[in-house]
Copies of this chain bind each other. A is one copy, B any other.
Amino acid sequence: MGAGIARHVLATPGLELVGVYGKRRERSGLDVGRAIGLGRDLGLTIETDLTSLATRTKPDVAIQATCSRLEDAWPEIETLLRHGISVVSIAEEMAYPSCSSPTIAAAMDDLARTHRAAVIGTGINPDFVLDLLVILLTGVCLSIDSITATRVNDLSRYGPTVLRAQGVGMTPDGFKAGAKAGTVRGHIGFAESISMIAAALGLSIDSIEQTVEPIVSDIRRETSFITVEPGCVAGTRHTAIAYRQGKPFITLDHPQQVRPKLAGVETGDLIEIDGTPNLRLTGNPEIPGGVGTIAIAVNMIPRVLAAAPGYHSMADLPVPVALLGGVGLGTELSDRRGRHA
């Protein structure tokens, strides 16, 4: 993800890439151009000391893209905020940090306000398909009885880290053991998506029930990274149901697998709101998680730079938009006021 984000920053007029931090010591000193696959040197090297990088380069904003968990993201975000640098994070748990740690969430918000910086979590899931898009749709409703959102996606392009976390290639027994041990974890972000929706609607949720089931394949499925034999696991079906007053109020369903089409499974996003009016929105195929997260992380830069100090979820800021005209050209304001300067 980091390489894709760096490439998109370089391709966007008005943005300047002033530094790249890498977690892995063995990549320290590597030219960024080579590391992100440009095939040429950029004259900028990967650094592993975030404090010295932040102090020297003093960027307006940093994109934090090294992990999924809040507790792993927080030390990096903390360093950036202490230097007054605003942060766009793609860590899944940053979608709604008070879910995994109310303490870190409050500390982050306080630190950002103190240093007059803004910090947001963004991505495709969580942060867009199963939450922001849902919230936006509720905006045309007078009343809502229940919300169901389903994302059927394709893991074929993903590498070993993601595949392992989804149990791909395992036997059903191995999957069960992995799920128990926490190495097969399914999707990260359901609690965050549900909390974001519920908070936006101004409602409280009684409880969230999550289930993680293997998707067992009856056919052979192959990707460049893995082969799934018949009878083995092609992916994970992870669901979450948020209850309110004893009834399911928000249901999120997310089957992820390699080569779904071989098994006759169509990928796509589906949001259904049962209320006044009834709504049904479909994305076919699904909004891609990889390229989509790269795009939205960069596209949110002007939004975070214009935001008030503190933490913001995606529901708190104006919507992301493709930066086709570049950043900082002020077209929108001058246009809006009728002065086509």
A residues whose Cβ falls under 8 Å from a Cβ of B: 8, 11, 96-98, 101-103, 105-106, 109, 124, 128, 132-133, 135-136, 138-144, 195, 199-204, 275-277, 279-285, 287-288, 291-292, 294-296, 299-300, 311, 313, 315-326, 329, 331-332, 335-340
Chain B residue with Cβ nearest A198? B335
Instruction: Give every chain B residue within 8 A of A315 (Cβ-Cβ).
Output: 318-319, 321, 332
Q: How far is the CA of A105 from the CA of B105 in the complex (A)?
A: 40
Choose among A200, A283, A317, A338 the residue with the greatest number of B CB atoms under 10 Å from its CB.
Answer: A338
A321 contacts B139, C-beta separation under 8 Å: yes
Chain B residue with Cβ nearest A326? B202
B321 contacts A200, C-beta separation under 8 Å: yes
List 12 extra interface pairs beyond A136-B320, A141-B322, CB under 8 A. A11-B142, A105-B336, A124-B140, A139-B319, A139-B322, A141-B295, A201-B321, A202-B323, A281-B283, A311-B337, A313-B336, A319-B319
Given A98-B338, A124-B140, A337-B106, A316 and B318 touching (CB < 8 A)? yes
A323 to chain B minimum Cβ distance, whole angstroms, is 7
Choose among A103, A106, A320 the residue with the greatest number of B CB atoms under 10 Å from its CB.
Answer: A320
Q: Among the listed B204, B277, B294, B338, which residue makes an inter-chain contact with A103, where contact means beta carbons less than 8 Å apart?
A: B338
Q: How far is the CA of A139 from the CA of B124 in the complex (A)?
A: 10
Instruction: Give every chain B residue within 8 A of A320 (Cβ-Cβ).
Output: 136, 138-140
Q: How far is the CA of A292 from the CA of B138 in the complex (A)?
A: 10
Q: How far is the CA of A195 from the CA of B340 in the complex (A)?
A: 12
A148 to chain B minimum Cβ distance, whole angstroms, is 15
A325 contacts B202, C-beta separation under 8 Å: yes
Given A98-B338, A195-B335, A311-B336, A325 and B106 touching (CB < 8 A)? no
A135 to chain B minimum Cβ distance, whole angstroms, is 5
Q: How far is the CA of A258 from the CA of B326 in the complex (A)?
A: 43
Q: Among the listed B199, B299, B338, B339, which residue makes an inter-chain contact with A332, where contact means beta carbons less than 8 Å apart?
A: B199
CB-defined A-B contacts under 8 Å, sample of 15: A105-B337, A105-B338, A128-B140, A136-B321, A138-B299, A139-B295, A139-B320, A139-B322, A201-B324, A202-B325, A202-B326, A203-B324, A204-B331, A281-B282, A313-B336
A322 contacts B281, C-beta separation under 8 Å: no
Q: How far is the CA of A106 from the CA of B333 in the complex (A)?
A: 11
Q: Among the listed B102, B128, B201, B281, which residue makes an inter-chain contact with A338, where contact means beta carbons less than 8 Å apart?
A: B102
Q: How far is the CA of A38 from the CA of B104 in the complex (A)?
A: 49
Instruction: Give every chain B residue within 8 A of A195 (Cβ-Cβ).
Output: 335
Q: Among the listed B98, B139, B339, which residue makes an inter-chain contact with A106, where contact means beta carbons less than 8 Å apart?
A: B339
Instruction: Give every chain B residue within 8 A of A338 (Cβ-Cβ).
Output: 97-98, 101-103, 105-106
A237 to chain B minimum Cβ distance, whole angstroms, is 24
A324 contacts B143, C-beta separation under 8 Å: yes
B331 contacts A202, C-beta separation under 8 Å: yes
Instruction: Give every chain B residue within 8 A of A204 (Cβ-Cβ).
Output: 331
